[in-house]
Structure 1
Amino acid sequence: MHVKPPASALHRAAASCRRLAEGWGGSPRALDVLTALGCLGLMALDLPGLAAADNSLSGPLAAAVLAAGCATLLVRRRMPWLSYVAALLFIGWLHELTLIQFALYSVGRYRGRRAGIVATVGFVGFALVLFCGVPGWPESRAETLSGFLSLVVPIGVLATAVGIAAYRHDLVGELTARRAESAVLQAVQQERTSVARDVHDFVGRELTLLTVRSEVLSVRARTTSYAKDFEELADTARRAHLVLNEIIVQRGERTSTPGVDGLAALARQSGQAGSPVRLAMDADAHALSPLRQAAVYRVVQECLTNAAKHAGGETVDVTIAADGPHLRIAVSNPLPARVPGRAPVSAGSGTASMSERVRSLGGTLTARRTQDAYEVVATLPLR
């Protein structure tokens, strides 16, 4: 019986496959191909022994049979049991135990704990039946059985355990990714709701003023032919306000987002929290519509929150200035060397919510990290 290879050889082969796959872009298909080639390379060491032990296999035929068995690893993600069945066939026919180790890993890796345990128990039971129930299998039964129980079985169990651990790691990674995606979607939805509230507040206020003004003009012009027109205008504005209330449902008692006039207070709060702010703002910012001013405030607010998490104590530069037909908002903060300790809590959804609000108003937002600073740049149309 061919009791090959030791765990260290398998470990080195797997590490080599991973490095090569990463060099090819880390694609699953490339990793599967390299895994099959690695298994074939390890089994090729047994070609002389296979040809000598089994007269039905010549050297080229043995190589073809081993290659066919290793080819089942190409579909191990979708059909890991195919490699497992081929490995059992190799055990009974060729006394070859290399493929079963790859097959056990694949079953545990892509089918989970229960399937991995079943595959391992089946492999050990099948091999023991061959040892104890098939005459002349193998010739040196005691010596080979000892090597099987002391080397092959532990390696098989280890391969299954590693596969199951990788399977659970994938589940945790997928769950983390879905939670992050859900957090981003929730942040975007909250930002859309916030924009809707701001639309309701700002537009509703203007519609209210329009209604009141039209009613006043209607009273003043009641002796003229324009009185009816002013009354119809007031009714139209009133109906528009009602429709706005029906479409945009306010939730809770949350007030609308402040405009650029609230940035000074926001900067003072940040300074009191330990992150000083250098605020430079052109007068053009006050010419923005209320909705765009609210967007400027939210961008600066989120940037200052991030700076407090990742660059506490460093001065944050906030520049708001006209740049052609756009208003440019730039927030930059240094990134000090990481101090040992717990990382700051962050959902990673702030940039997504900022981008959603800016894009909804026809602007752009970019965030980039340099070697020693983090900068967010947003643009909004001035008109």
Structure 2
Amino acid sequence: MHPKRVAPALRSVTAAARRTAGNRAVTPRVLDALTAIACLALMALDLPGLAAADNSLNGPTAALVLAAGAATLLVRRELPWLSLAVSLLFIGWLHELTLIQFALYSVGRYRGRRPAVLATAGYIAFCLALYNVPGWPLDHARTLSAFLGLVVPIGVLASAVGIAAYRQDLVRELDARRAESAVLQAVQQERNSVARDVHDFVGRELTLLTVRSEVLAVRARRTAHAKDFDELADTARRAHLVLNEIIVQRGERAATPGTDGLPALAEQSGRAGSPVRLDVGPGVHALSPLRQAAVYRVVQECLTNAAKHARGETVDVRISTDGPQLRIAVSNALPAGGPGRAPVSAGSGTAGMAERVRSLGGTLTATRTDRQYQVIATLPSS
């Protein structure tokens, strides 16, 4: 065995793995391949002494055997027990302790605490049995000290690091699922909000149509068109009833304000510490109520994000119509601090306003640089 080189092996490779994992371009399979290569490189340091001291393998044969053992790490996610079995074989045959560190780490990382504890206990029991076999290459006087000072710490450390990584994976997965759930909930809430706005705006027009048809029916009572106006009023009433059945109101809530509510929204943002430069094109106020609600929703969410993450910075809001297209552009400078700061908008609110725009056939993009955050939404103006 080679205590001076084996002891720091796990720490160095674990640090390298963390640095590699931090690169999002590296896939799990590439990481497994790099891990296998790192393990082989560490075991290769023992090649000169394998044939001479520990076993009858020559240099090339020993290299092939070590490469085959390191190759088991390529399937460490699906079959960590394979690496463990081969590493125990290496201990009994080659007296090589490098692979066992990677194997125990893999069991802890991809199978959890209980399998890792069982694997570590099995590894320690196996080594204890070997140390008591007559003719073991180590000096018998050093057997207990080597066992307590090298074998046990290696197994416990490797398993502990693997279990810690396993727990971190679970936490990250839980956080990702919570974030995904929050986004889905925000999207659903925005869809419900759009549906309620449809009910409010379309229902109001159907009510006006019903009243107007009834008035015309009364005026045309003695003409041939009276029956037609009555049928038109009945059709409008039935359409309103169908609309009520399809879109169920969930509590009392006023419809989303339109572009007339933007000045009050800008004033409120200014009082919160984020002054607003509002530029609304002349054709914006003539948009349909649903599109005006989308404009209000996008501007509202952007101003909320600015108040949270760029307080004190001026927010530029420009809304314009260019032929068949409506364009909403909201931008603000970012506080000094560089890219290490949290994104200005990266959550369920952004998903909600994007869903509002998509429901009207438009697109929304949010971009962030070191100095500025900008949201641009485009959708049909009619």
Fold shared by both chains (TM-score > 0.5) = yes
Q: Which secondary structure does the structure 2 equivalent of 1:376 belong to?
A: strand
For 1:153 and 1:137, how far apart are their aligned partners in 2?
A: 18
User: 1:128-185: per-residue Cα shift (whole Å, max 9, x none)?
Assistant: 11112x2212341222442232123212211111111111111111111111111111
Q: Is the 8 A contact 2:309 2:344 kept in 1?
A: no
Find the counterpart in structure 2 of residue 67 from structure 1: 67
For 1:305 and 1:252, how far apart are their aligned partners in 2?
A: 24
More moved, 270-279 vs 165-174: 270-279
User: 1:211-231: per-residue Cα shift (whole Å, max 9, x none)?
Assistant: 111111111112111111111
Find the counterpart in structure 1 of residue 309 from structure 2: 310
Alignment of 1:244-255 (within 5 A): 244-255=243-254
Shift of 1:347: 7.0
Find the counterpart in structure 2 of residue 360 from structure 1: 359
Q: Structure 1 residues 370 and 203, CA, compared in 2 at 3 Å: closer, same or farther?
A: same
Find the counterpart in structure 2 of residue 181 from structure 1: 180
Letter matched to residue 314 of structure 1: E
Alignment of 1:265-276 (within 5 A): 265-276=264-275
- Percent identity, please: 76
Shift of 1:321: 1.7
Shift of 1:203: 0.2
For 2:175 and 2:310, how far apart are their aligned partners in 1?
A: 25
Q: Which secondary structure does the structure 1 equivalent of 2:195 belong to?
A: helix
More moved, 248-257 vs 369-378: 369-378
Shift of 1:309: 0.3
For 1:157 and 1:149, how far apart are their aligned partners in 2?
A: 11
For 1:211 and 1:17, how far apart are their aligned partners in 2?
A: 70
Alignment of 1:128-147 (within 5 A): 128-132=128-132, 134-147=133-146
For 1:226 and 1:82, how far apart are their aligned partners in 2?
A: 87
Letter matched to residue 25 of structure 1: A
Q: Which secondary structure does the structure 2 equivalent of 1:206 belong to?
A: helix
Q: Which secondary structure does the structure 2 equivalent of 1:283 belong to?
A: coil
Alignment of 1:278-289 (within 5 A): 278-289=277-288
Structure 1 stretches of 5 or more lacking a match? none
Q: Is the 8 A contact 2:344 2:373 kept in 1?
A: no
Find the counterpart in structure 2 of residue 89 from structure 1: 89
For 1:20 and 1:202, how far apart are their aligned partners in 2?
A: 54
Find the counterpart in structure 2 of residue 374 from structure 1: 373
Q: Which secondary structure does the structure 2 equivalent of 1:38 belong to?
A: helix
Q: Is the 8 A contact 1:180 1:347 kept in 2?
A: no
For 2:23 and 2:356, how far apart are their aligned partners in 1?
A: 39
More moved, 357-366 vs 9-18: 9-18
Q: Is the 8 A contact 1:3 1:148 kept in 2?
A: no
Q: Is the 8 A contact 2:10 2:102 kept in 1?
A: no
Find the counterpart in structure 1 of residue 210 from structure 2: 211
Q: Structure 1 residues 308 and 22, CA, compared in 2 at 3 Å: closer, same or farther?
A: closer
| Alignment RMSD (CA, Å) | 2.2
Q: Is the 8 A contact 2:55 2:94 kept in 1?
A: no
For 2:54 and 2:283, how far apart are their aligned partners in 1?
A: 89
Tell me the TM-score normalized by structure 1. 0.93
For 1:243 and 1:255, how far apart are their aligned partners in 2?
A: 20
For 1:33 and 1:166, how far apart are their aligned partners in 2?
A: 18
For 1:8 and 1:130, how far apart are their aligned partners in 2?
A: 23
Q: Which secondary structure does the structure 2 equivalent of 1:187 belong to?
A: helix
Find the counterpart in structure 2 of residue 46 from structure 1: 46
Q: Structure 1 residues 344 and 23, CA, compared in 2 at 3 Å: closer, same or farther?
A: closer
Q: Structure 1 residues 20 and 337, CA, compared in 2 at 3 Å: closer, same or farther?
A: closer
For 1:124 and 1:269, how far apart are their aligned partners in 2?
A: 67
Q: Is the 8 A contact 1:24 1:30 kept in 2?
A: no
Tell me the TM-score normalized by structure 2. 0.93
Q: Which secondary structure does the structure 1 equivalent of 2:123 belong to?
A: helix
More moved, 305-314 vs 2-11: 2-11
Q: Which secondary structure does the structure 1 equivalent of 2:318 belong to?
A: strand
Q: Is the 8 A contact 1:331 1:376 kept in 2?
A: yes
More moved, 350-359 vs 49-58: 49-58
Q: Structure 1 residues 293 and 370, CA, compared in 2 at 3 Å: closer, same or farther?
A: same
Q: Is the 8 A contact 1:3 1:96 kept in 2?
A: no
Find the counterpart in structure 1 of residue 99 from structure 2: 99
For 2:269 and 2:176, how far apart are their aligned partners in 1?
A: 31
Q: Is the 8 A contact 2:73 2:80 kept in 1?
A: yes
User: 1:316-369: per-residue Cα shift (whole Å, max 9, x none)?
Assistant: 111112233212211111111249xx9799871111111111111122211111
Q: Which secondary structure does the structure 2 equivalent of 1:332 belong to?
A: strand
For 2:160 and 2:194, how far apart are their aligned partners in 1?
A: 51
Q: How many residues align?
A: 380
Q: Structure 1 residues 102 and 25, CA, compared in 2 at 3 Å: closer, same or farther?
A: same
Q: Is the 8 A contact 1:332 1:375 kept in 2?
A: yes
Find the counterpart in structure 2 of residue 119 from structure 1: 119
Shift of 1:50: 2.1
Shift of 1:204: 0.4
User: 1:79-119: per-residue Cα shift (whole Å, max 9, x none)?
Assistant: 10110111111112222211111111111111111111111
For 1:168 and 1:204, how far apart are their aligned partners in 2?
A: 53
For 1:45 and 1:199, how far apart are their aligned partners in 2?
A: 72
Find the counterpart in structure 2 of residue 220 from structure 1: 219
